[in-house]
């Protein structure tokens, strides 16, 4: 296990190096001049030249990249071209909001997805199963921006039951929970549909296995048979879906944050891309990549806790 963790950390290092190189090159080779972003619309040609010289933007791209990499190794991810705020500070300010939204969305997705998947597997080919799989298909197909807009129209505009968004209140307060409901449902619907489909197929596969038939023959009651024997062994592929989706949510809930005007990582990255704010874009992309690798590592560790037969040594 320790050897696997060390290998994955080394892989994370090389992966982040590769991603930092690709993002840096793609941003700097794209059309446009970041000096105009820093100088503003009233900057003269001499002002732009002075900015390029001060920021090192007139040097070769590879030299700029290695300077940037050296700063990262010292914990310096640069400063925003727009606000002159440290990238680390900007990310730390926005990231807790994205975490709050991602966790709430994942709770919605896991509760709905696993319960719907179990019921569908137990009632295979019944009207319950057909209804559940149909809703799963619809959930995967509906775009987040459309669903979010409809939910706002119904529950915020027409009935005025829930706030439009913002996530300004602490999540443990009643007002904070109300602010989380609509964006969490919007973001968790597609994940719930995927989890439900995977739970159903995995449960059906395990139910047909020999040891489940043996447990039935020994007189094991239906409830422990489903919740202990079947579900535990069916959770490995489901955990993969949960881990991937949670990594995506933590990486930036871009569309949902735009629809509900939430100041999270996703909105920060979109605004930075539109403004050609290179340091912010590079910092957020590296964060997203690191999150994906770390979440996958945690999922691999959980595998061994659920199924002792799995070993990475």
173: domain CATH number?
Answer: 1.10.3720.10
Residue 312 forms part of a structural domain? no
How many domains are contained in the chain? Answer: 2
Report pLDDT for 171: 66
Report pLDDT for 23: 82
pLDDT cut 70: percent of the chain above it: 89
- In the predicted model, is pLDDT for residue 285 greater than 80? yes
Residues 168 and 301 in one domain: yes
Residue 265 forms part of a structural domain? yes
Q: Of 29, 56, 87, which closes a domain?
A: 87
Q: What is the mean pLDDT of residues 23-39?
A: 74
Residues 46 and 100 in one domain: no
Residue 113 to residue 136: CA distance in whole angstroms: 9
Report pLDDT for 313: 57
According to DSSP H, which parts of the chain are helical? Answer: 2-29, 34-39, 45-55, 61-73, 87-122, 127-141, 144-151, 174-207, 210-217, 222-224, 231-251, 254-259, 265-274, 278-306
Report pLDDT for 76: 81
Residue 121 to residue 203: CA distance in whole angstroms: 6
The H-or-E segment that residue 297 falls in is helix 278-306
Between 212 and 68, the more confident residue is: 68
Q: What is the mean pLDDT of residues 103-118?
A: 88
Q: pTM to 2 decimals?
A: 0.79
Confidence band of 310 (pLDDT split at 50, 70, 90)? low
Residues 35 and 148 in one domain: no
Residues 221 and 175 in one domain: yes
Nearest to 35, CA basis, from 16, 20, 54, 22: 54
pLDDT digits (tens, 9 = 90+) for 98-107: 888 888 888 9
Residues 276 and 204 in one domain: yes
Residue 313 forms part of a structural domain? no
């Amino acid at each position: 296990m320790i050897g696997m963790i060390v290998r994955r950390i080394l892989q994370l290092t090389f992966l982040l190096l590769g991603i930092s190189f690709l993002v840096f090159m793609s941003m700097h080779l794209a059309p446009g001049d970041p000096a105009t972003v820093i100088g503003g619309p009233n900057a003269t040609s001499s002002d732009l030249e002075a900015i390029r010289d001060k920021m090192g933007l007139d040097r070769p791209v590879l030299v700029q990249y290695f300077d940037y990499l050296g700063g990262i190794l010292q914990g310096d991810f640069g400063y925003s071209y727009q606000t002159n705020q440290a990238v680390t500070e900007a990310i730390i300010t926005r990231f807790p909001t994205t975490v709050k939204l991602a966790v709430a969305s994942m709770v919605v997705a896991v509760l709905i997805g696993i319960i719907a998947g179990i019921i569908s597997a137990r009632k295979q080919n019944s009207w319950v199963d057909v209804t559940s799989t149909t809703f799963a298909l619809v959930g995967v197909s509906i775009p987040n921006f459309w669903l979010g807009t409809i939910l706002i129209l119904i529950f915020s505009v027409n009935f005025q039951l829930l706030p439009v968004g913002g996530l300004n209140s602490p999540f443990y307060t009643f007002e904070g929970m109300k602010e989380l409901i609509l964006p969490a449902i919007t973001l968790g619907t597609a994940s719930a549909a995927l989890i439900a489909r995977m739970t159903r197929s995995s449960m059906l596969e395990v139910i047909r296995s020999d040891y489940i038939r043996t447990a039935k023959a020994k007189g094991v009651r239906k409830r422990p048979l489903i919740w202990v024997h079947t579900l535990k062994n069916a959770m490995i592929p489901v955990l993969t879906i949960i881990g991937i989706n949670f990594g995506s949510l933590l990486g930036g809930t871009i569309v949902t944050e735009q629809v509900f005007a939430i100041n999270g990582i996703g909105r920060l990255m979109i605004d930075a891309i539109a403004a050609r704010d290179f340091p912010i874009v590079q910092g957020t992309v590296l964060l997203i990549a690191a999150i994906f690798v770390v979440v996958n590592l945690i999922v691999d560790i959980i595998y061994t806790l659920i199924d002792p037969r799995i070993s990475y040594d």
